[in-house]
Structure 1
Amino acid sequence: MGNGQTLSTDQMLAIARQHKGFVSEVIYCSESSSADYKLIYYSSECEVDFCGHGTIACMYSLIKSIAELMEKSELVIETNNKGNLIVYNRISEQDAVFITAPEPKHIGTDLPSEIIAQNLKLRSEQICNQYPIDIIDAGLRTLIVPLTALKDEVNVYPHEQQLKNFCLDHDIDIILIFTKEVQSTQNIAHTRVFAPRFGYLEDPATGSGNSAFGYYMIKNKLWDGTGTSIEQGNTGMEFNIVKLITLDGKILFGGRATERIIGKYLI
């Protein structure tokens, strides 16, 4: 949105609903009085507090397409619900942009593993008892569940409505399952993220969820904060890669984007 254009909340939700099944979220980018750009996020169900992969895609495409932005090493984005965040332009060096994750909230949980397993369509023994189940909010309230084996993790297919009801009942935005067993040893872990309360079962690449997982790994001494990467996805897709680094005690998540369709949207 530019040249003073604005959309109402109803219009933004209507556009997102039109794209249900094509994209997980629609990102609205406009001018800002307090930052370089303002980003608002909508799924087909509602406004989303924060969308990490959408932020990466939007800012990577924007910076790469505007010469004066390519000259900048940092930009500031304003978000509706998570304040201002810094975008680090590393396209020339790493073909990636990095985003500061929102300040984490360590919420914790006492949800029984048996109930979690039941709602994820897992057997209880598939959940790894070596690491804790936890809830951390680094943009979205994320239930983090460790699994033992990669073959189990990539083949989990919960029932969408059942999992949505579970998330709504327990005030959970997304569920991240992970295993330390990976397809490529270049990556530190494999994750999958379920987001049924936003109108779709699985998110193929998740900035906020993997940022929460980054804080989880530091908390549980699984990661020392140096640059690393996470592979994400199920057995039926090519795994996406999300990069994590720390800067001044904060986690930055990063990646790149590929433009699939370019055009103008007329209302």
Structure 2
Amino acid sequence: MSKVYKYKKIDAFTAGKSLGNPAACLYLSLGQELTEEEMLEVAKQHKGYVSEMVYCKKDPDTIHLTYYSSECEVDFCGHGTIACTYSLIKDTPDLLAQKEIQIQTNRKGNLVVYNRILEQDAVLITAPVPNYLGTELTKEKIAETLDTTVDAIDGELPVDLVDAGLRTLIVPMRDLANEVSLFPDRKKLETFCIENGIDIILIFSSEVAKTDHIAHTRVFAPKFGYLEDPATGSGNSAFGYYMLKYQLWDGGDCCLEQGGNDRVFNDIYLSSIDGAVLFGGSATVRTDGVYYV
């Protein structure tokens, strides 16, 4: 006999008509359980629909989250956490009244969700402690790999490698037009990342489409089977630490826009507490119903 679970498909980091980054969320009631095999099977059924499944169980003391891709359990999923907790908090009056909410992840321990739904229509999460790795990669090599020119890369700001959950190569671009129109070859980019110990590449421009944003970013993730991530938690967290390091940001509340010229840009909120970067955003529920396992 099938078991029935509350189910939502939610896009994280949405802004207006932007599409965000999708995650599917299964909400388990008290007494409901899923085995590891069942969670993996449900995630496999979502291959090509969302990149990660989030399994959420709320008990009286905390919110438990477990994450699966179509291949295996994953340690942490930033956009999935934003999607799942935004919807849960917004729909639960006792949570909506709380400013800080403890969550427990299956592999990364306890985290804090900062509820800013009423003020900013957003939730934020503390990013991992950064590791500033540095890089000897030249702008010439990076330009060749990105299928652009050296002149398109900003000559005043440095390239850097920062790990705030993922090893992120951060590349400053000279202007917005060059940044949003860049479309590198996925296989060439994947080889470059593997050879240089890079998880993702974030390019950014200080020139923006919306004047209330402080930067425009794009994130390439060929190691994970696709060229570009539409909205990213870990990559923009690394970028937040980059901006703090090079005094491009004072750590106050701000907003980034992310995406190429073929889409409506998504919004990623950044803030900081005692030097720790927070990342977050809004979310939009696209599907709301039940799922049979």
Cα distance between partner residues in 2 of 1:181 and 1:251: 22
Question: Which protein is richer in strand relative to its size?
Answer: 2
Once the two structures are overlaid, the 10-residue window that deviates more, 73-82 or 236-245, is 73-82
Number of corresponding residues: 265
Contact 1:46 1:198 in 2 (8 A): no
Shift of 1:227: 1.1
Residue in 2 that maps onto 1:198: 224
Residue in 2 that maps onto 1:106: 132
Cα distance between partner residues in 1 of 2:200 and 2:38: 25
Q: Which has the higher contact order (CA 8 A, sep 6+)?
A: 2
Question: Unmatched 5+ residue regions in structure 2?
Answer: 1-26
Choose which of 131, 144, 152 in structure 1 pairs with 2:170.
144
Cα distance between partner residues in 2 of 1:205 and 1:263: 25
Shift of 1:48: 4.1
Contact 1:76 1:85 in 2 (8 A): yes
Shift of 1:124: 2.3
Residue in 2 that maps onto 1:83: 109
Q: 1:260 aligns to what SS in structure 2? A: strand
Residue in 2 that maps onto 1:40: 66
1:42-64: CA deviation from partner (whole Å, max 9, x where unpaired): 44455544332221111101111
Shift of 1:113: 2.2
**TM-score between the two structures when normalised by the length of structure 2:** 0.82
User: Structure 2: which amino acid aligns with 1:153?
Assistant: E
Equivalent residues in 2 for 1:21-170, closer than 5 Å: 21-30=48-57, 36-44=62-70, 47-170=73-196
Specify whether residues 161 and 18 from structure 1 end up closer, same or farther in structure 2 by C-alpha distance, changes over 3 A only: farther
Shift of 1:179: 0.7
1:166-217: CA deviation from partner (whole Å, max 9, x where unpaired): 2222222211110101111111000001112222221111111111101100
Residue in 2 that maps onto 1:5: 33
Residue in 1 that maps onto 2:255: 229
Shift of 1:32: 7.9
Specify whether residues 202 and 26 from structure 1 end up closer, same or farther in structure 2 by C-alpha distance, changes over 3 A only: farther
Structure showing greater Rg: 2
Shift of 1:144: 0.8
Once the two structures are overlaid, the 10-residue window that deviates more, 111-120 or 59-68, is 111-120
Contact 1:49 1:139 in 2 (8 A): no
Shift of 1:99: 0.8
Cα distance between partner residues in 1 of 2:34 and 2:134: 39
Cα distance between partner residues in 1 of 2:69 and 2:183: 21
Question: Unmatched 5+ residue regions in structure 1?
Answer: none
Specify whether residues 215 and 92 from structure 1 end up closer, same or farther in structure 2 by C-alpha distance, changes over 3 A only: same
Equivalent residues in 2 for 1:239-250, closer than 5 Å: 239-250=265-276
Percent of aligned pairs with the same residue?
Answer: 56
Root-mean-square deviation (Å): 2.2
**TM-score between the two structures when normalised by the length of structure 1:** 0.90
